[in-house]
Chain A
């Protein structure tokens, strides 16, 4: 299918982009890599009135390597992360995840901010950023605000992004040298959307441990009891599986059938096992 008619403009600054977005009202939509948005337009599942192209805005391409965190501009591409061309706060987790995201030709254009803004339930970055306890920095008509990524996505394609607000960057705390990460993406065909995702980050020096499930019929799901169990160092495989299952069962905002519950249990179990060895 071909996309429906649309207008297009490429602002030269973030402020200009925001003004355009405010003036366009409900018809305005920012476009970065377009890998999801143009696909939806080609399927006539989205028909914005005005596309505001932010892909090349310097403010959104900035990468800052702080002492304790890395800030990645929203328009940093998956390929840039995959290739290690930007500072990596995650000791290899993010490049490792990036390499499994769709296909290279998608990764050269798709952006981390775009992934967050859409929050496709099967997307990788919302899960990883939640697991890394990252923050998303939003810029809107009333200035900047930041939210925990783990709270930013609220449901399937649903976020706390306000009207006339743009994702500016993600600020990701740097992992300690001895932090350990686990990542499992279960899917049948390389590059397709995940059937189940699990990301585990454990950083004892910062007293931090988090296990997050993705492709989980809703927003990324923090497995709270499992996270605590990982921090304590689980010894019993059955207890681990049981805790994971219980965390999944306690997710009141969604439902898993038996197959899905099993798949997420396996994914999380294997991701945890990666940090235990």
Chain B
């Protein structure tokens, strides 16, 4: 067992973990944060995407113990985050989710695209979503929702980042 201290959604958490435990399983099984989902556990489908130190990461390929002294954000966080709020609204209005399994990771990836200003065109958004599989929607509405949210965010803070 290895002791770690990690910041999850803004709160310090200390725990003692078997090193083989993935960050995804740590979040889901030990912290009861089940919004992060597992679809493949080999890094392809993207359903497990969270933020580690502010950047998207595959929680299935990240060992929890390797997150010692790091900050993790999951879909259960982002309280007050204007980009996630905008995305939630545009996803809802544009029917950008069906079964909901890919949705938390999709939002986190979309937020990162908007933050890095990589959501300026349909092509750019589609390329940016390459690492997030959706089996239900066919992506059309997801792309529209992200483009709309990017525009909203761009309007509110044209000089952001």
Contact = CB atoms under 8 A, between A and B. Distances in A.
A5 B20 contact: yes
Contacts of A191: 130-131
B62 interface: yes
B61 A104 contact: no
A93 B20 CA distance: 36
Contacts of A42: 22, 41-42, 60-61
A102 B131 contact: yes
Interface residues of B, number: 29
Interface in B87-135: 109, 112, 127-128, 130-131
Q: Interface of chain B, helix or strand or loop or mixed?
A: mixed
Q: Interface of chain A, helix or strand or loop or mixed?
A: loop
Given A35-B61, A39-B43, A190-B130, A105 B109 contact: yes
A6 B19 contact: yes
B4 to A, nearest CB: 10
Contacts of A34: 61-63, 66
Nearest to B105: A105
Given A3-B22, A105-B49, 11 more contacts: A2-B41, A35-B43, A35-B58, A38-B22, A39-B42, A53-B66, A55-B66, A102-B43, A104-B112, A105-B43, A191-B130
Interface of B: 2, 18-20, 22, 25, 41-43, 46, 49, 52, 55-58, 60-63, 65-66, 68, 109, 112, 127-128, 130-131
